[in-house]
Structure 1
Amino acid sequence: MASFTSTICTGATSFSSRLCIPPAALLHFWRRRHTFSSYRPAPLKLSHFLGASKISLPTVKPKFIGWRSVCTRADGRSDQICEAEQVQRSHAAGGTVGKFQKRLRIADIKAGPAQGLERVGQCLSVRGWVRTCRVQRSITFIEVNDGSCLSNLQCVTASDVEGFDKVHSGLITTGTSVLIDGVLVASEGSKQKIELKATKLVLVARVRNALAYATHKYFQDMGFVWVASPIITGSDCEGAGQQFCVTTLLPFSQEDVGSPVSKIPSTKDGSIDWSKDFFGKPTFLTVSGQLNGETYASALCDVYTFGPTFRAENSNTSRHLAEFWMIEPELAFANLNDDMACATAYLQYVLRYILDNCKEDMEFFNTWIEKGIIARLNNVVEKEFVQLTYTDAVELLLKAKKQFQFPVKWGCDLQSEHERYITEEAFLGSPVIITDYPKDIKAFYMRQNADGKTVAAMDVLVPKVGELIGGSQREERLELLESRMEELGLDKETYWWYLDLRRYGSVPHAGFGLGFERLVQFATGMDNIRDVIPFPRTPGSAEF
């Protein structure tokens, strides 16, 4: 493993982090001071470090000022680069802003088949957090991780290195942030493998980022246009009534929380007077961007939304959140078969992406979170999707030699236990698409089938989760759409713009929705969906 002859810097603790002081050797013993916000105390004021490294560092001269500024060797060799550390900015007239650079991370240093050996001899700066610190008589081994990968970078520090006094004084402990400068050399010892069980949030956040990137890449490569749907809406896409109300009629500051109910404007019959509200009518946080997506698709053909949605469903389960992100593509000139093909291709693409690009993270999940998760994801990527109708699925469940908690009959909404039995046991881990659901358990906008009882809807079921994707062909026939809205008691005036898409001409179109956090949960094997979003919003909990 590579080692460093290093200069170490530390600072004062704040929120379990430390602030680094740049090494004096690299910056010609410059001293600097920062201004911090109230929750970050000023760093320790250190004089320039004493001593010298056994390996002489190349002479460097700062080229730009900033954490990500590049500096070059005095000998002019372009293949040997390092990063100048943050120094006191010059406020003199005529000063220029330096070029922003991508910072070299540990994952970059150790990338490739040689695992960093091709960088031997380079002058590097490493920033990160100490995982372990093993102090011996003459040298100290510091394992540093910067969050770019699971594995650490071992830095070997001799007792005469500048800043070693911070190790001796006990300031270098697990969690300390450090900046270490040095020359990358081939390790003299055998390769060390340090077991690191990182926090779920850090690991999941990395895979979450990869899935988000793969989502945009897939749809962009397929010619879809990303559109932003509004967060505040006057309609209910799902028609379930489980929405958060947006209003200024109630107190909107901490000082007004004691306001009496009598201050809320009301009509003569005692109802809330919504005309006095900010938007002049009841408004809510959106439960879906689909209806807006259909509007865009009527002009741009293929579009997708990827944004936050909200549902006021009082469900304290491992599968529900009050605030989550939704991926919702809409395809013009498409039917249910096109919808299923798009959903299948998308899911296989993003799962293949993380299997290929997040191998270290996936190995971690396979070892510590869910053994066999890599094989499970590969099944979805490689196997054909099984397709059957809702009626066939109910018959399969009725014949199953298994006692379900929720009874099965035609017309019931399939529960997670039913969906998981179908994909995990009946079809041995293959993904399953169920189509043609009863219209009474589906949303108003789904296209009615010729039988008058079912709609052109589909759900994609996967092992461990059950339903992962839900979609349908949309009802483009105005008279049938209006009739369905009347059956469900929906106010057609609220949806005038949606109906106008049919009134003045429409085309067959379809789409689907996918809860992003549920996708992350499926891809990582996490048991609780609250562990795959940084700040979960659930009934009774809105911290941070």
Structure 2
Amino acid sequence: MEAQNIAQKDNKPVKSFKYSNRVVLKSIVGRADCGLGLVGERVVVGGWVKWCNVKTKPVASKQPAAVPVVKDVTCSELLMSKIPLLRCIAKAFAGATETLADEKPDVVVANTASSIAQLRINDGSCVAKLQVVVDSSVCPLEQVTTIGNSVLVEGVIEKVEARGNYIVELKVEKILHVGLVDHENYPLSKTRLSLDMIRAYPHLRQRTTMVASVVRIRSTLTCAIHMFFQQNGFHFVHTPIITTTTTEDHKKKFYVTNLFSKSDDNAMKNAMKGPEEISLEVLRAAIKDKSRRIDDLKRTDSNKEALIASLNDLKMAYELTSQLENQEKSESMNARKVDFSEDFFCCPAYLTSYAGLHLESHACALSCVYTFGPIFQAEYSKPMTHLAEMWMLEVELAFAMLEDVMNCAEDCLKSLCLSIQKDCSDDIKFLSSRKHKRFIDRIKSVESHPFARISYTEALEVLKKVTDKVEWGMDLSTEHQSYLADEYFKRPLIINEYPKELKPFYARIRDDRRTVSAFDIIVPKAGVIASGSQKEERIDMLDLRIQELGLPREQLDWYLDIRRHGTVEHAGFNVKFEKLIMFVTGIDDIRDVIPFPRTRGDARC
């Protein structure tokens, strides 16, 4: 019955895209019959040429003479055929100038070679390509046979006679548009390109099959996020990208300012009363280089003057480093006497690194809310593991405790993985052929098995069985997380009840005063993919934590106001969107799962 339903569905005529005259390729090659039910249909399709092959088509050099037609003859025609003299008189009298029909010569056809081009095009709607056949009589083939060209063509879908990877092809009758490519300078002219190579072209790399698959998966996950929360009674909230609230080291924040745009080029310099900032990272790198050079000079013992000069330089570098370290410990960015009164907001403002604080204000009015958008962190870690701009799903539930929010986070991840298997099966299969083949099993393990749950203390007990380099209060390393999720439990894992020093100030203090109601979700091969906590609703405990950590209380007074007026138990979690995509695609570098990666020293396009 199911096969019959599929056949009936595939027999329906193909429809054009609602907002143009073309047919989306997915509606042809993405069908269960790979387009076989559309043979004979006339369609307009568009796409970019991914592969081409030109063949010479043999043609006949001479057509055979027409077979004479036998017809009835008259008596006069019979006499003229028997008596030549009568025939000559008749011709002279009639002035005949035509030859008889049966005396026409054979028709000779010019022996010119004809060619056909087989193109395989893709319009980004699916992984599969459509084979397109263009005859040289339709257009000069050199116009359409360059890799990367865009084409819009009209033709008839035909069945491919020879067996192969393609069941149907489009016989082109009209060329409606060709977007030419500069072959010499087009960076994607090769059929197989590494992710490292195409990363230099973020404006073009989505034309490759692998990156296009990642983009489609990213799109599907975005829709699935909204569908899950809308179906479960949550409200979507737009939280601010610009904030004046800071809870982190100022070095990890991006400032929002227009001081540089003042007409006076020295406006920013005049606002900064302190000395020009020198990067500690640069100084530390210089110390390493100078130490290495000194070791080389000591071994050779050939240039004492150069050795003395290098030792003095190293001493100065150490002194400057010490000064900067002491300066960073003793004063924050606000204490550097920056005059923000002339700035746009008249106070320090930053790109948000965490939307959860603002989301709490809406949870205490709308009960269940979520937001999904970019956050910004000026991290100096390796670019393959950290982005300056990334996307985060934030969720907040009022009248909820830790167990409630852990259940919600688990259900959310299960739903997202299920939607990927359902709606992106072709993309997942393609990526598995190029990347780690077993990552499909990992996706299924999220959807099909309950997550393991242990406390931080229990996790340490497991780790102590294989290593003695663990102690209570330490942060779990990537290796620790990998062992627990990949080898010990072999499935997704939730670790909760962390030491309060390892979690943010807003996590609720437990009765032991040592731990907080917070959790991490760890998945095999990807590590921490989500984190959450029950929020501290007791204003006295929250105020105490702010004082302990030395956070700017005046900036958090609005946050404390939520506890002053109608406080309620509430909890929330976040999902690192790019980490989730890395998990479901098997891609190792975080720069390859976001359309335009921003990392330290790289903000192309």
TM-score band w.r.t. shorter chain: 0.7 to 0.9
Report the equivalent of 2:38: 119
The residue identity in structure 2 corresponding to 1:177 is: S
Which residue, out of 481, 485, 490, partners 2:546?
485
What is the aligned partner in structure 1 of residue 171 from structure 2?
A: none
The equivalences for 1:242-261 within 5 A come to 242-249=252-259, 251-252=260-261, 259=266
Q: Report what 1:153 is aligned to.
A: 130
Distance 1:495 1:369 in 2: 46
For 2:554, what is the secondary structure of its paired residue?
A: coil
The residue that corresponds to 1:456 in the other structure is 517
The answer to whether structure 1 residue 365 and structure 2 residue 426 are counterparts is no
Choose which of 432, 439, 443 in structure 1 pairs with 2:493: 432
Instruction: After TM superposition, give the deviation of residue 182 of structure 1 in Å.
Output: 0.6
Partner AA of 2:217 in structure 1: V
Q: Structure 1's 352 and 265: CA in aligned 2 closer, same or farther, altered over 3 A?
A: same
Moved more, 239-248 or 150-159: 239-248
Q: For 1:81-123, what per-residue CA distance to the aligned partner results, in whole angstroms no more than 9, with x for missing partners?
A: 668xxxxxxxxxxxxxxx8459531111123322222222221
Mean CA deviation greater in 106-115 or 449-458: 106-115
Could you tell which deviates more after superposition, 232-241 or 443-452? 232-241
Change (3 A) 1:323 1:305: same
Equivalent position of 2:312 in the other structure:
none
Checking the alignment, whether the CA contact within 8 Å between 1:328 and 1:512 is kept in structure 2 is yes
Give, in whole Å, the separation in 1 of the partners of 2:558 and 2:463: 41
Distance 1:317 1:400, change over 3 A: farther
Aligned to 2:405: 339
Higher helix share: 2
Moved over 4 A (4+): 78-83, 193-197, 237-241
Map 1:38-57 to 2 at 5 A.
none
Q: 2 CA distance for matches of 1:192 and 1:80?
A: 22
Q: In structure 2, how many angstroms separate the alpha carbons of the residues matched to 1:276 and 1:491? A: 22
Correspondent of 1:420 among 467, 479, 482: 482
Superposed, 1:321-336 pairs within 5 Å as 321-336=387-402
Q: Tell me how far apart the structure 2 counterparts of residues 157 and 228 of structure 1 sit (CA, whole Å).
A: 50
User: Residue 409 of structure 1: which of 471, 478, 490 is its match?
Assistant: 471
Q: Are residues 196 and 213 of structure 1, via their aligned partners in 2, closer, same or farther at CA, if it must alter by over 3 Å?
A: farther
| Native 8 Å contact 1:81 1:122 kept in 2 | no
Q: Which residue of 1 aligns with 2:560?
A: 499
CA gap of 1:80–1:356, structure 2 versus 1, over 3 A, is: closer
Matches for 1:460-479 after TM superposition, within 5 Å: 460-479=521-540
- Residue 431 (structure 1) shift: 0.3
The aligned counterpart of 2:117 is 140
Tell me, yes or no, if the aligned pair for 1:237 and 1:288 is still in contact at 8 Å.
no
Distance in 2, matches of 1:354 and 1:80, equals: 25
Specify the alignment match of 1:230 in structure 2. 240
The AA in structure 2 aligned to 1:252 is S
- Call closer, same or farther: CA 1:541–1:158 in 2, change over 3 Å: closer
Indicate yes or no: 2:155 matched with 1:182: yes
> Does structure 1 conserve the Cα–Cα contact (< 8 Å) formed by 2:374 and 2:392?
yes
One-letter identity of the residue aligned with 1:133: C
Displacement of 1:358 in angstroms is 0.8
Distance (whole Å) between structure 2 residues aligned to residue 423 and residue 232 of structure 1: 37
Shift of residue 317 of structure 1? 4.6
Measured after TM superposition, the shift of residue 187 of structure 1 is 2.3
The normalised TM-score by structure 1 is: 0.76
| Alpha-carbon contact 1:237-1:291 (below 8 Å) kept | no
1:272 to partner: Cα distance? 1.3
Which residue of 2 is the match for residue 540 of structure 1?
601
AA matched with 1:150: V
2:49–2:145: 8 Å Cα contact kept in structure 1? yes
- Deviation (angstroms), 1:202: 1.9
Q: How far apart are 1:237 and its partner, in Å?
A: 4.8
Alignment-derived partner of residue 215 in structure 1:
225
**What SS does the corresponding residue of 1:294 show, helix, strand or coil?**
helix
Deviations 1:174-199 (A, max 9, x none): 11111121111222221425997645
Deviation at 1:308, TM superposition (A): 0.6
Q: Which amino acid aligns with 1:109?
A: I
361 and 437 in structure 1: CA distance in 2 versus 1, 3 angstrom threshold: same
In 2: Cα distance, 1:185 partner to 1:416 partner: 54
Matched residue SS, 1:494: helix
1:302 pairs with 344, 351, 368, which one? 368
Return the alpha-carbon distance in structure 1 between the equivalents of residues 16 and 273 of structure 2.
67
2:271 to 254, 264, 276: 264
CA distance in 1, matches of 2:544, 2:45: 65
Q: SS of the residue aligned with 1:306?
A: strand
Q: Could you list the per-position Cα deviations for residues 287-321 of structure 1 after superposition, in whole angstroms to 9, with x for gaps in the alignment?
A: 11101110111111111010110011111153211
Q: Which amino acid counterpart does residue 435 of structure 1 have in structure 2?
A: N
1:275-294 equivalent positions in 2, closer than 5 A: 275-294=341-360
Q: How many residues align?
A: 439
Deviates more, 1:126-135 or 1:99-108: 99-108
Instruction: Letter of the 1:234 partner, please give it.
Output: T
Alignment partners' CA distance in 1, 2:145 and 2:266 = 52
Deviation, 1:383, is 1.2
Q: Which runs of 5+ in 2 are unaligned?
A: 1-11, 58-115, 168-189, 193-207, 275-334
Verify: 1:173 aligned to 2:146, yes or no: yes
For the 8 Å contact 2:21–2:44, the answer to whether it is kept is no
Match of 1:395 in 2: 461
Q: Which residue identity does 1:209 align to in structure 2?
A: S
In 2, distance between residues paired with 1:300 and 1:102? 44
Q: Quick one: distance in 1 between partners of 2:147 and 2:522?
A: 43
Q: Is the 8 A contact 1:237 1:290 kept in 2?
A: no
Identity %, equivalent residues: 42
Give 2:261's aligned amino acid.
F
Distance 2:135 2:336 in 1: 79
1:357 Cα deviation from its structure 2 partner: 1.1
Which one has a bigger Cα radius of gyration? 2
- CA distance, structure 2, for counterparts of residue 270 and residue 386 of structure 1: 48
User: Residues of 1 paired with 2:370 and 2:224: CA distance?
Assistant: 14
Is 1:108 the counterpart of 2:18? The answer is no
Q: Secondary structure at the match of 1:114?
A: coil
Which whole-Å CA distance do the structure 1 matches of 2:13 and 2:381 have between them? 57
- The aligned counterpart of 2:306 is none
SS at match of 1:536: coil
Q: Is the alpha carbon distance of 1:205 and 1:482 closer, same or farther for their aligned partners in structure 2, counting shifts above 3 Å?
A: same
Unmatched tracts of structure 1, length 5 or more: 1-77, 84-98
Cα drift, residue 376 of structure 1: 1.2
SS of equivalent residue, structure 1 residue 443: coil
- Residue 109 to residue 238, structure 1, CA distance change in 2 (3 Å): farther
2:485 maps to amino acid: T
Measured in 1, the distance between the counterparts of 2:346 and 2:253 equals: 18
3-state SS of paired residue (1:185) = strand
The two structures, once aligned, show a CA RMSD in angstroms of 2.5
